[in-house]
Structure 1
């Protein structure tokens, strides 16, 4: 959670707005305290869905079909959302519930009055989310429930639970309480599967002291099984350190170590430490540790960003594999990324980021909500060439399989010739697009400036276009140009950086015969009305970018232009159904 917000709205205002639209009959005694108790008693009836009655703040039925509303990405029905929080999976195997809490202001479409919003899903692959009432709320003037995490305390190490709560549903939330005087780490527990929480009576469980006590936030906690302990990664924001703390019971914490690396910017935020599988190289099949660190402001492109470090965790100390910290996403709209706790350990971890940037998030032209999340992404540690002489492990990200939401194949994938191919983008506004570019070994050695493949996503208004491009050479380059994907709004905001690029090695079709092997390069795009996510070469580079079409338009067609006859392109375009 960004540390430059100061709360201006009171809990009573929040509860009053929720009370005005509660689905049950209201009594005459709707004081803030009584309403809060009533909300907490509404254990099993507080779920609402955008496709039916209710919304994320318990208000009247809403539509998820506004022109700028993404159709497969999560967004709150109303209000303002930022960091993902408390990502955890509860329930018995085969009947799990995926919880996604998030920073939420139910009263306005700007940051402030921070609550934990709440949504759930039964599977990542469905891309479907059900909205619920806020799960944790501030209770006093000037308080904010800032970012944090959630865990399953199946062995009841905290002592909060009895046999009435199944072990798989024993959710403990760890969050930062922000006040005018300090930021401290607090805990709350749920006995009804994560829909309501009781705050621990002896909070806070961890605090900093002196001049640093106002800049200490965003705890990410996980169970460290080999060392039989809970581990918390938390940001000492303005000393540029991730602090690691350990506990046996989630209540008493001891400092183990601190870590710092990479871009400093103004401050650290939202750290996350997790394991991911190595793919390729001499560590193939093993697992490594990844530390995510978010920076705001101070990103090279301006505003906020997330970087990562790959290394090892020994129960007390995180040690990086090399001195570099790498950019997790080369776009400008992927921040405060977090992974789900308690997922299937045989599968890659799943990460999600807030798809916005603090430089302009409070003014983007959406209503009655602001902000979306990225699609959930699977994370692996891919052994990849950085240049012809050096290969290292990088954090690769790929979207969760979309096959369950494909409604139509709009292009059959046949090889495209030079010049252009056009595809009408028919459907709900969400599309999964892949361009697989191949070339012979001889062609690769003579690629020139015109060895390009450009994908143009056209909007409703004349001249509205989002460009995703490939430029061949050593190395290959991929670019995103959102200058003309809605000039009316973008031209008026000096912080809405409009062009991005990164390098990526063109891959070998046969790693065992590189001298004679054909080469290839892939670009996969998830286009969803006002957000596009790009994944390069099986996710070794990724970018999330927002774009707000003129005249409240949406994607209408795709045009592909190939600048070199020697490049062969297989283009697949699939329409995705709205999950709202």
Structure 2
């Protein structure tokens, strides 16, 4: 595949069928130029470049012959698609399933060649016989090219069907590499000094979290709260079993000593209550220059991912988000808000107080960022419409009921169970300065309250671009700002 600037929505490509709509392709969210994409993989940052690898089928627009695709960016909003990084081996160890990548700064692996530290990817080989094992690949040129380790797999399958998606971090206090691996509906932890020889240390999840489906794509990392105290966060995606059906991502907060994770809460917590934020993980390598934990997820749901009408390409990523800890009602929780690069890119279009009944014309052919100051006890309803018979989205927020509702039952394409009302309980208490933020880009809407303390991500496929927003109901005038991205 040739290098291609995926300024999504600008790329001119043939339309495969009459139902295809160019406005479905987002402009500021990564999508492949063509064919199938799912989970983000191997996200790593080195020398000013964000690398995004992803589950990719180069020969079809449905899941199948899975490779690792590759894209790069310097600002998280403009992506350049690169050649395939890791090709499948259908007659060998198998397809290239999900995993992670790290910068081996101290060359503990011995893979370094030249002055640049090696990048080491950990991933799952999935054979035709459906045997899953963990393998390595190495890049010594900053992620441009990759070689599979000749002694793969480094963790053979122990006789477990669902045994996949390794994510590796360096655990400073113990001086080891640590791997978290999805195993059935739990996770296992391993440690290594050289990224090649791994020792099992513990399991987690048998009596914790949601268990409506298989656990996938775990991630483990430290964060500091507002008081500077460190906690460990564990992300685990689950399919099915999400709060609004199908796939979703849960999280745990607790302690980790290099061998075992101990949660400090018993309740089930969801990173995002929408139907379309799954398998998200965070970037490695960034922490040396910028103390942020940046996250990106796959913007789809396994209930309908193979059927959505973007048949030229299927799959998009969420907007990159920064993860942070906050305290609400005495408990630490995890927020996910758009990364600051999104704030830096936006340009104001209009700022005004909205009265109930006011209608705002939305700029066409643009990614939009809408901000409403909602206060501590809002009761409001918004309608986004795509013209007569083009489809509409309804968004309602009720502090009294403690809920955010997104209704896409009349949004256009509503097959495969897609047309539904998505409900999110408010994960935190509102206050006088509370803010509702809505990102609309192509066929995606991402809703954040108070810097992502409550988040809802959803796809929609209207037959025309959204053209108007109406404040259908509100307690009073609502301060409103509209930005382009």
- Normalized per residue, which structure has more helix? 1
- After superposition, the Cα gap between the structure-2 partners of 1:344 and 1:300, relative to the gap in structure 1 and judged at 3 Å, is closer
Structure 1 position 537, deviation (Å): 2.1
**Which residue of the partner structure matches residue 472 of structure 2?**
561
Match of 2:183 among 213, 236, 251: 236
| Equivalent residue pairs, number | 474
Moved more, 341-350 or 525-534: 341-350
**Which residue of the partner structure matches residue 332 of structure 2?**
393
TM-score, length of structure 1 as denominator length: 0.78
2:358 alignment partner, SS class: strand
2: CA distance between counterparts of 1:267 and 1:472? 33
1:494 aligns with 2:437: no
Question: Rg larger in 1 or in 2?
Answer: 1
Q: Does the aligned pair in 1 maintain the 2:91–2:128 contact within 8 Å?
A: no
Q: Does the aligned pair in 2 maintain the 1:165–1:192 contact within 8 Å?
A: no
The CA RMSD measured in Å over matched residues stands at: 2.3
- After superposition, the Cα gap between the structure-2 partners of 1:192 and 1:460, relative to the gap in structure 1 and judged at 3 Å, is farther
Q: Does the aligned pair in 1 maintain the 2:367–2:484 contact within 8 Å?
A: yes
- After superposition, the Cα gap between the structure-2 partners of 1:225 and 1:65, relative to the gap in structure 1 and judged at 3 Å, is farther
Match of 2:394 among 467, 474, 484: 467
Q: Does the aligned pair in 1 maintain the 2:6–2:32 contact within 8 Å?
A: no
Match of 2:69 among 117, 121, 129: 117
**Which residue of the partner structure matches residue 158 of structure 2?**
209
1:438 alignment partner, SS class: coil
1:206 alignment partner, SS class: coil
**Which residue of the partner structure matches residue 258 of structure 2?**
315
**Which residue of the partner structure matches residue 352 of structure 1?**
296
Match of 2:224 among 277, 281, 285: 277
Structure 1 position 568, deviation (Å): 4.1
- After superposition, the Cα gap between the structure-2 partners of 1:422 and 1:158, relative to the gap in structure 1 and judged at 3 Å, is same
**Which residue of the partner structure matches residue 5 of structure 2?**
49
Cα deviations across residues 477-527 of structure 1 (Å, max 9, x unaligned)? 2211111111xx20x32354333232355434xxxxxxxxxx343211111
Structure 1 position 416, deviation (Å): 2.9
1:334 aligns with 2:334: no
- After superposition, the Cα gap between the structure-2 partners of 1:506 and 1:185, relative to the gap in structure 1 and judged at 3 Å, is closer
2:287 alignment partner, SS class: coil
1: CA distance between counterparts of 2:234 and 2:443? 29
Structure 1 position 352, deviation (Å): 0.7
Structure 1 position 406, deviation (Å): 2.4
Structure 1 position 99, deviation (Å): 0.3
1:452 aligns with 2:379: yes
TM-score, length of structure 2 as denominator length: 0.92
**Which residue of the partner structure matches residue 101 of structure 1?**
53
1:207 alignment partner, SS class: coil
- After superposition, the Cα gap between the structure-2 partners of 1:86 and 1:255, relative to the gap in structure 1 and judged at 3 Å, is same
Task: Trace 1:215-230 onto structure 2 (pairs within 5 A).
Answer: 215-230=162-177
Cα deviations across residues 426-460 of structure 1 (Å, max 9, x unaligned)? 14231101111136xxxx6xxxxxx6211221114
**Which residue of the partner structure matches residue 211 of structure 2?**
264
Q: Does the aligned pair in 1 maintain the 2:274–2:457 contact within 8 Å?
A: yes
2: CA distance between counterparts of 1:278 and 1:65? 44
2: CA distance between counterparts of 1:192 and 1:118? 15
Q: Does the aligned pair in 2 maintain the 1:50–1:62 contact within 8 Å?
A: no
1:173 aligns with 2:121: yes
Cα deviations across residues 73-101 of structure 1 (Å, max 9, x unaligned)? 1110001000000000012xxxx111000
2:173 alignment partner, SS class: helix
Which ranges of structure 1 fall in alignment gaps of 5 or more residues? 1-17, 19-45, 386-390, 445-450, 509-518
Task: Trace 1:379-528 onto structure 2 (pairs within 5 A).
Answer: 379-385=323-329, 391-401=330-340, 402-407=342-347, 409-412=348-351, 414-417=352-355, 419-438=356-375, 452-462=379-389, 464-473=391-400, 476-486=402-412, 489-490=413-414, 492-494=415-417, 496-508=419-431, 519-528=432-441
2: CA distance between counterparts of 1:455 and 1:536? 15
Structure 1 position 65, deviation (Å): 8.9
- After superposition, the Cα gap between the structure-2 partners of 1:135 and 1:165, relative to the gap in structure 1 and judged at 3 Å, is farther
Which ranges of structure 2 fall in alignment gaps of 5 or more residues? none
1:158 aligns with 2:109: yes
